[in-house]
Amino acid sequence: MTTETRVLSGRYRVDDLIGRGGMASVYRGYDQTLGRTVAIKILKADLAGDAAFRTRFRLEAQAASRMAHPTIVRVFDAGEDSEVGADGVERPVPYIVMELVHGRLLKDVIAAGPVPTDEALRYVDGILEALEYSHRAGVVHRDIKPGNVMITEAGRVKVMDFGIARAVSDSSSTVAETTAIVGTAAYFSPEQAKGESVDARADLYSTGVVLYELLTGRTPFRGDTPVAVAYQHVSEAPLPPSELDERIPRALDAIVLRALAKDPFQRPQDAASFREALDETIDGKAPTKRQMSALSNELYGPNPRQAAETARSLRQLSTDTTMRRTQPGPPVAWIWAGVSVLAVLLVAVLIWVMQIQPSTGVPTTALTVPDVADMSYDRAVETLEAENLTTGRVNESDEKIAAGNVVSTVPAAGTSVAEGQKVTLYVSTGPDTATVPTLEGINESQARTALENAGLSLGSIRRQNDPALAAGTVISATQEAGAAVAKGTTVNLVVASGQVVIVDYTGYTLDAARRELESDEKQLVVKTQDDPGCRAATPQTVTTQSLAPGEVPVHSEITLTVCSGS
């Protein structure tokens, strides 16, 4: 018995299952319209039943589809189909169509054993390269973790699921639901754990957690429940990686701890800075113990471990039922009073640790980066300098923003920054251009492929008779070969029909019929045969022809019967 092939939206054939996660199942698939193999992520039924989530999910997938970078898994399409369950009720089936990547998840690489330091840094650099691009495009991932990073067979990094975490968090009613959907809390930033708004620096914190795990084989914070882990992200200091594995270069301790700073202002402010810091740290000297102690105090405040140990002791006192009293103790009321005092002191210490302002930190009067998107570069500079911010410039192509206008900024608009901080302006140079390939003389299929490879679109195809060309051969195109045009430009083609038109040559003299049939406009092969039994007023007159009037294939052979009698 054969199973009926499933096709989503009449276009995407669903083949074998290749992965399963807490939010979706991933299948190998085939795009029947474009003729390419793809990966299809189908959302689970409990998520699919939420109309608000489906809307947010579609919008975020569309935003992700606009990102095209070698380190990001491309999103080709997002849609919604339906299916009838065993109970006879029709349910929506949201799905994403993505680039099919051949390789392994980074979490499987980590699970397989120790990752050499140079490989760990190369993987993290690839993640940061993807984030550098996505943050410029205004997309914060929110769920960077080894399960969302692919390592291709060639060893390249591919980050996936951009925008999906936002779709989940914006549509979930509670933190518990969000945690269950988005994934493990081991990679949350402190601001995510506290339910605060996040920006690109949350992704950098999560990348720091991934770097820590690659170097040491474990995440910096572990616990029995997501809440316990989230608590540690907010209030506890991680051990430097070299204390867990002495083979790790101590020069990496400072950059890892800086990435894991509780305060976003104390982390690298963008992915490019993180990458530069990694390069400088690898080539630089290892920090001294005094320098590491100063950095720990700057990032986490004094005695964070003591506060954490106090918290753990309180939790043990309140839950341990195995301890027995060996001597008479004070009244029960006194015990609970002491516990209450300790709890108040603990909370006070934690609040002080979280609020303390380091001497080298950012002033409490932070500025907000204004929105200068689509402004001219000069006007944007004036706007930012009026806010006491400095500027830098990077040019990049953009299809929608006019040349000379600002595409985006890093840090992004709305981000809180310190006075005098540098804001990089990404300025449009206009749309990407493509070179029109040579199309004349190749067949229609080859022309379609050549246009797709050049980043151009095939428009209309008009058939035209041409006696010298086989059917489907391109005669001309609306764009000249070698011309530089905007990517995505539509190119219309004129292709040979493979036919020519002939008429009824009965009554023509043989010379007149041959002259027309063998002309440049017809180019047919003419053969003759005599009909001696006929009578004609004019010798050598055509009486019949082997091909009927109308369209005939190019270079056809036609036999003319000629009256040779008198």
Q: What is the dihedral of CA 344, 350, 353, 354, to 10 degrees?
A: -120
Per 3-state DSSP, the chain is made up of helix, strand and coil in percentages (nearest 5) of 35, 25, 40
Neighbour count for residue 416 (Cβ, 10 Å): 14
The amino acid at 144:
I
Strand order in the sheet with 90-98: 6-8, 12-20, 24-31, 36-43, 90-98, 75-84
143 contacts 164 by C-beta, under 8 angstroms: yes
- H-run or E-run covering 271: helix 271-283
Give DSSP secondary structure letters for 313-375: HHHHHHH--S---SS----HHHHHHHHHHHHHHHHHHHHHHHH---TTS--SS-EE----TTS
**Rounded to 5°, angle at Cα 523 from 518 and 527:** 55
DSSP letter string over 168-199?
Answer: HHHH-SSHHHHHHHH--GGG--HHHHTT----
Beta bridge partners of 367: 417
What does the alpha-carbon distance between residue 402 and residue 392 come to, in Å, rounded to a whole number?
Answer: 19
The C-alpha atoms of residue 447 and residue 456 are separated, in whole angstroms, by 11
For residues 433 and 488, the answer to whether their CB atoms sit within 8 Å is no
CA 288 to chain centre: 40
289's CB contacts (< 8 A; 6+ apart) are: none
User: How many other CB atoms are found less than 10 A from the CB of residue 468?
Assistant: 12
The vertex-248 CA angle with 225 and 272, nearest 5°, equals 80
- List 143, 203, 398, 466, catalytic entry: 143
Q: Is 287 exposed, middle or buried (0-12, 13-18, 19+ CB in 10 A)?
A: buried
- Give me the sign of the Cα torsion angle 5, 6, 12, 16: negative
> How far separated are the first and last CA of the chain, in Å rounded?
76
Active site residue 199: no
Which whole-number Å values give the CA distances from 142 to 145, 289, 300, 338, in the listed order?
A: 9, 34, 23, 41
CB neighbour class for 185 (10 Å; exposed up to 12, middle 13-18, buried from 19):
buried
- The partner residues of 562 in beta bridges, in order of sequence, read 530, 542
Q: Please, are residues 472 and 507 in contact by the beta-carbon 8 Å criterion?
A: no
Catalytic annotation, residues: 143
